[in-house]
Amino acid sequence: MSSDLSLGSVVKSEWIKFRTVRSTVTGVFVMFALTIGLGALIAWATRSHWNSMTQVEQVTFDPVSESLIGIVLSQFAVGVIGTLFITNEYASGSIRTTLAAVPNRMKLVSGKLVVIIASMFVVTEAACFGAFFVGQSIFSGAVPTASISSGGVLRAVFFAGLYLTLLSVLSVALGFIFRHTATCIGFFVTVLMILPLITLAIPESWRVHITKFEPSELGNAMTSVITPSGDLNAWSSLVTLVIYVVVVLAIGATLFQRRDA
Amino acid sequence: MIKIEHLTKRYGTTLAVDDLDFEVRPGVITGFLGPNGSGKSTTMRVILGLHHPTKGRATVKGQNYAELRAPLHEVGALLDAKAIHPGRTARNHLRALAASNKIPLARVDKVLGFVGIDSVANKKVGNFSLGMSQRLGIAGALLGDPAVLLFDEPVNGLDPEGIRWIREFFRSLANEGRTVFVSSHLMSEMAVTADQIIVIGRGKLITQGSIDSLTATAKGTVFVRASDHPKLITALKAQNGTVSEANDEALSVSDLTSDQIGQIAFDADVVLYELTPQRASLEDVFMDLTADSVEYGSSGVRNEQ
């Protein structure tokens, strides 16, 4: 009856745990609603006000980023899903039951990562492509639209899903570091929302060198067809965000390995 | 088989476990006793690899817990019955546990039936009473059919029927040759449940042995009523007896057997009305052993004897 603990069995176990709590199901629903719903709402507002928009607004109008505007909010739903995946276990104390079954902590971290990356990749890509096509169908006939086959459009939409997936991994890493839901969410919101506001207070000559490295700005560059002025290009932004996530994850995994559970 | 070797665990400046050394053998129920805060849970957590020892080690079948190839097949543990996500159903909780160690799904339903909660298997754990949670925790410990079982305060929250059930259940596990290690802060519970007892206080080993050997070491007293107490006391003291409690009604005598006391009374021409040996209860033994190591004692309540 004896058999080694395999990564596959840990993934299976974590997948059962991930999908059998309401917070995950609710979180995914909210993520879809915000990504597609908010995008559709803004698209509809643009369409109905197109004729009263200024010429500058009409010329700089980007139908791709406009349809993906929902991720500005849905990124927080993703953060909550990832955080709770870890902090739920600490809040209930079930982390001890989990570790008694899977004492190899790096295997447990790996299993949780496989589950969060695979599941979040699927749902966030579905939501981002959904938001894109819903947005374009609303624009269609009244406002300039973008085709998925145009240069850079497919990449921008695909990277929007990647951005959200990377943020879910970041929130898992924060969960391992802080172990408390409120602390993790607070940190997550600070980095993505408060940090950009703080940097606004910095003199512009410095700010231009800092802003482009902020996670939210990396996301903006990743999801734009034409790189916004002052930003890193989409691929450099992706690489930078991946580096951030890997560093935070390494800290989280190291602390998890060392600490008493 | 569990082996604790010179185990020390320190949290910051708090010494939770202090050079603990003992073995838990298969085929018997071993009670792990100590007042609250004496280091029982810490020791169990170290055994399960959850907490890292400061010094020394804890092994199961000669291995560190983290090195076990399929932990749930080797060791089953119930640490905290309420430590389950409240929104998950009992069955899903066990399914996730089973999947991690490649335990077939059929086993989940089998253990649910065994502990008698199959009727609520698809209910959320958050609505469970403590007693039901304990049964679910026991089901989890049994999943991998392990040879070593650890239970931290398993009787808490159980009703009398549940307590009797759990005693018989521990007995059957031990009779199957398994190692059964049960912690409790209630001596009276362990007296009827365990064969072997390990007593700790403030993280230190106080004593260990069989229940019988423990009570044997305890000083018994003899309850005496006689016609002339002052005269009898003088005679008893002359024979190295100790009179620990004396009033008009009765005497409590130790360091002498009832036979000796009878003879002394006869020689001193004192008529005995009553001569009753009083065996120290395990509770008394436990209280005496751990009196110095209770973290939050209520000194006023206990009568000094």
Neighbours of A221 (CB within 10 A): 24
Q: Which of A23, A102, A260 sits opposite B100 (nearest CB)?
A: A102
pLDDT mean over B200-221: 81
Assess whether pLDDT exceeds 50 at residue A3: no
Model confidence, pTM: 0.87
Burial classification of residue B15, based on how many CB atoms lie within 10 Å of its CB (0-12 exposed, 13-18 middle, 19 or more buried): middle
H or E segment to which residue A75 belongs: helix A71-92
Distance (Å, whole) CA B249 – CA B238: 22
CB spacing of B45 vs A260 below 8 angstroms:
yes
Please check the confidence at residue B57 and state whether its pLDDT lies above 80.
yes
Chain B residues in contact with A260 by the CB 8 A cut-off are 45, 50-52
Task: Say if the Cβ atoms of A5 and B69 lie within 8 Å.
Answer: yes
Range A137-158 average pLDDT = 93
pLDDT at site A1: 39
Highest mean pLDDT: which of A57-66, B115-124, B249-258? B115-124
> Residue B286: its pLDDT value, please?
73
Q: How far apart are CA A131 and CA B290, in angstroms?
A: 68
Question: Chain B residue with minimal CA distance to A25?
Answer: B87
How close A75 gets to chain B, by Cα (Å)? Answer: 24
Among chain B residues, CA nearest to A98? B97
Token code pair at residue A186: 């607070």
Q: How far is B53 from chain A (nearest CA, A)?
A: 9
Q: Which phi and psi angles does B268 have, rounded to 5°? A: -95, 5
Q: Which residue of A has its CA nearest to B138?
A: A97
Q: Domain B219-279: what homologous superfamily?
A: Peptidase S8 propeptide/proteinase inhibitor I9 (3.30.70.80)
Is B305 a residue whose pLDDT tops 80?
Answer: no
- The Cα–Cα gap between A90 and A78 comes to 19
* Whether the domain at B2-216 and the domain at B219-279 fall into the same CATH topology: no
With an 8 Å Cβ cutoff, the interface of chain A facing chain B consists of: 1-6, 9-10, 12-14, 16-17, 20-23, 88-89, 92-94, 96-104, 258, 260-261
Residues of chain A positioned with their CB less than 8 A from the CB of B88: 17, 20-21
The closest CB to that of B84, out of A12, A14, A94, belongs to A94
What does the alpha-carbon distance between residue A237 and residue A217 come to, in Å, rounded to a whole number?
8
Helix (H, G, I), strand (E, B) or coil at A146: coil
For residue A5, list chain B residues with Cβ-Cβ distance below 8 A: 69-71, 100-101
Q: Do A6 and B48 touch (CB under 8 A)?
A: no
Candidates A6, A13, A96; nearest CB to B96 = A13
C-beta separation of B143 from B98 below 8 A: yes
* Nearest chain A residue (CA) to B50: A261
The pLDDT-based confidence of A10 (bands split at 50, 70, 90) is very high
pLDDT at B212: 77
Q: Where are the domains of chain B?
A: 2-216, 219-279
User: In chain B, pLDDT over 90 holds for what percent of residues?
Assistant: 64
B85–A17 CB contact, under 8 Å? yes
| Predicted local distance difference test score (pLDDT) of residue B294 | 65
| Chain B residues inside the 8 Å CB shell of A97 | 79, 83-84, 97, 140
Separation in Å, CA of A71 to nearest CA in chain B: 28
Superfamily of domain B2-216: P-loop containing nucleotide triphosphate hydrolases (3.40.50.300)
A33-83 pLDDT, tens digit each = 999 999 999 999 999 999 999 999 898 889 999 999 999 999 999 999 999
Average per-residue pLDDT in chain B?
Answer: 89
Least confident interval from A28-37, B26-35, B158-167: B158-167
Q: Which residue of B has its CA nearest to A103?
A: B66
- Burial bucket for residue A61 (CB in 10 Å: 0-12, 13-18, 19+): middle
Q: How far is B127 from A116, CA to CA, in rounded Å?
A: 28
Cross-chain residue pair A16–B92, CB shorter than 8 Å: yes
The Cα–Cα gap between A209 and A230 comes to 8
Residue B281: the pLDDT is 66
A168-188 tens-digit pLDDT: 999 999 999 999 999 999 999
Interchain pair B140, A4: CB under 8 A: no
Which residue in B266, B281, B227 sits closest to B249, CA to CA? B227
The arithmetic mean of pLDDT across residues A188-198, rounded, is 94
- For chains A and B, count residue pairs whose Cβ atoms are closer than 8 Å: 106
Nearest C-alpha of chain A: how many angstroms from B239?
Answer: 58
Residue of A nearest to B122 (CA): A20
**Is B100 within 8 Å of A96 when comparing Cβ atoms?**
no
A-facing residues of B in 38-77 (CB < 8 A) are 45, 48-52, 65-66, 68-73, 75, 77
Whether B109 and chain A come into contact, CB under 8 Å, resolves to no
Nearest CA in chain B to A24: B87
CB contact (8 A) between residue B100 and residue A1: no
Cβ <8 Å between B87 and A3 = no
- Inter-chain CB proximity B68 and A17 less than 8 Å: no
CB contact under 8 A, B85 and A96: no
User: What 3 state SS string does chain B have?
Assistant: CEEEEEEEEEECCEEEEEEEEEEECCCCEEEEECCCCCCHHHHHHHHCCCCCCCEEEEEECCECHHHCCCHHHHEEEECCCCCCCCCCEHHHHHHHHHHHCCCCHHHHHHHHHHCCCHHHCCCEHHHCCHHHHHHHHHHHHHCCCCCEEEEECCCCCCCHHHHHHHHHHHHHHHHCCCEEEEEECCHHHHHHHCCEEEEEECCEEEEEEEHHHHHHHCCCEEEEEECCHHHHHHHHHHCCCEEEEECCCCEEEECCCHHHHHHHHHHCCCCEEEEEEECCCHHHHHHHHHHHHCCCCCCCCCCCC
| Closest in A12, A17, A92 to B86, CB measured | A92
pLDDT at residue B256, rounded to an integer: 86
Among the partner residues A2, A21, A261, nearest to B70 by beta-carbon distance: A2
Greatest alpha-carbon pair distance for chain B in Å reads: 79
Query: Which pLDDT value is given to residue A60?
Result: 86
Contacts of B97 in chain A (CB under 8 A): 13, 97, 101
Q: Which of A3-17, A181-195, B219-233 has maximum average pLDDT?
A: A181-195
- Average the pLDDT over A84-104 and give the result: 96
Per-residue confidence at A2, pLDDT binned at 50, 70, 90? very low
Asked which of A40-54, B91-105, B207-221 is least confident by mean pLDDT, the reply is B207-221
